[in-house]
Amino acid sequence: MFGAEKKYLSISINDGIIKAAQASSSGNLEKVARCSYAVASGNEEAVKALKSLLTPFNRKLPVICVVPASAATAKNIEVPSSDPEEIKSIINLQASRHTPYSREEVLISYINLGMNAAGNTRLLLVIVHRDIVKERISILEKSGLDVDRILFVPEAQARFYSKALNLKKEAPASGIIDFSLNATSYMVVSKGTLLFVRHIPIGIKALMQGADASAKLQDELKKSMEAFTQDEGNQAPGSYVVTTARDAVKNILPALKEALSVEFQVKAFSSLIKGPADLRKKLDGDFADDSFLDVIAPASAVAKCEIDLMPEEMILKKKVERQSKEVSKSGAAAVIIMVLVGAMIMTNIYFKDTFLNKNLRDQYAPEKEQVALLQEKMNKVKLVDDYIKNRMLSLDIVHELYTITPNTTYLSNITVDDDGTVTIDGISDSMALVYSYVKSLGDSAMFKEAKLKSTSTKKDNGRDVASFEIEFKLNNAKEPAS
């Protein structure tokens, strides 16, 4: 499903800021088509802001939702097994030890970091509360998007820089420090993947407000290095790549270098991507002091990311949908075979009929009964052919409605007239959803002239719902004679 050359729509919803990027991976450079952001408070406002934000984007691309380090817990652990199924069972039991929540309240995923000298498997375990992910999925679905993957931002950033800087697998561990508006991520990368991550709640905004933030950041970076070295006696990297060239960051690097005795190399992510000149300008200046690495990196590194925080029920739902599509394809193949068989029969009959008309009419003129029987067979084949075509049209209409109709809308009746007019009756949670549904029908490649004929409010299982009747035409419907 996810290939190296595919394009993706990556979306971040965090701290009231919504960011979107349309990007893909190609060769050594990441291609970014467009980026944009919006500010919203509350889920309802976020849905409206996201719908407006996505106007210039290709909404049909696979959608990636990202979870930042601030919303998750990342722990380096060891498990006494190398079997993938056993590892899953062990971390399912251990997850509650690393968070105050029960196992049912959290989603977990991990990166396999390989075996250590004691024969145990080292893992980077990532835990996030289920409600955090479900809230983001809900906002995206209400905005008309179907989420394909839920990725952990630091892993995607680590893989982005490993590829961009051509870090070899045999190279020593490298450090990456990512500054965003409200936070800083301390990361260590080894063999192309994320080895260690620590979230620091001090960002560019705080650094611009005074020297206290710089001192606190220095202390937190020192704690991060110590936390990494305590794990199996690792040695902290001697140099770090900084992901942004903002003045507030560059101004504090000399002091950090002197206090921590490490080298800092500024390698802004905007210099590692390929895209339109106006977009590069926005990334370098117009987007103020925030970073878009958290949405660009997942879109370019999705094929290699191991962590996926998609809820189990969503995975099962997508699996059922894929199976349904396979069944539909099988049914379509069966219909095509029937059509081909019918075409072969018709072709055979056609040549027989042509031969009789051109060469044997005089010779077999008395054989009227046989000719009549042949004509009867041909009529039956035509009836079968018409039946198959009409059946395919019905299946196409139902399939298109299934694709367009949201989960909160239910259809109770579908009528198709001979002139290509389709009428549907149903209910929905609100009139706003009904009007949105009418627009979606009108935007469909198969339908046109969608209009709302009638609406009303009624009770359904004790709750108020909007009842509606919508009429539209098939695109290939014949226009009425004038």
- Strand boundaries in 172-279, DSSP class E: 174-179, 184-190, 193-200, 239-242, 263-266, 273-274
Of residues 67, 48, 60, 49, the one with CA closest to residue 22:
60
In this predicted structure, the answer to whether residue 386 has a pLDDT above a threshold of 70 is no
Confidence of residue 3 (pLDDT cuts 50, 70, 90): very low
Instruction: Judge contact between 5 and 26, C-beta under 8 A.
Output: yes
Angle between helix axes 368-404 and 431-443 (nearest 10 degrees) is: 130
Domain boundaries in the chain? 7-310
In this predicted structure, the answer to whether residue 62 has a pLDDT above a threshold of 60 is yes
Identify the CATH assignment for 7-310 out of 3.40.1160.10, 3.30.420.380, 3.90.1170.30, 3.30.70.940. Answer: 3.30.420.380
Mind listing the pLDDT tens digit for each residue in 414-466? 998 878 899 999 999 888 898 899 999 989 888 888 999 999 888 888 888 88
- Asked whether the whole model's pTM tops 0.85, one would answer no
- Strand boundaries in 116-203, DSSP class E: 121-129, 147-152, 174-179, 184-190, 193-200
Q: Which two tokens stand for residue 356?
A: 């009789």
User: Within a 13 Å sphere around the CA of 48, how many CA atoms are in the beta-carbon half?
Assistant: 7
Confidence of residue 381 (pLDDT cuts 50, 70, 90): confident
Confidence of residue 391 (pLDDT cuts 50, 70, 90): low
Task: Please report which helix (H) or strand (E) contains residue 459, including its range.
Answer: strand 447-460
Cβ neighbours for 313, distance < 8 A, ≥ 6 positions apart? none
> Residue type for 270, please?
S
Mind listing the pLDDT tens digit for each residue in 359-378? 666 666 666 677 677 888 78
> CA–CA distance from 155 to each of 66, 161, 187, 320 (Å)?
11, 10, 9, 29
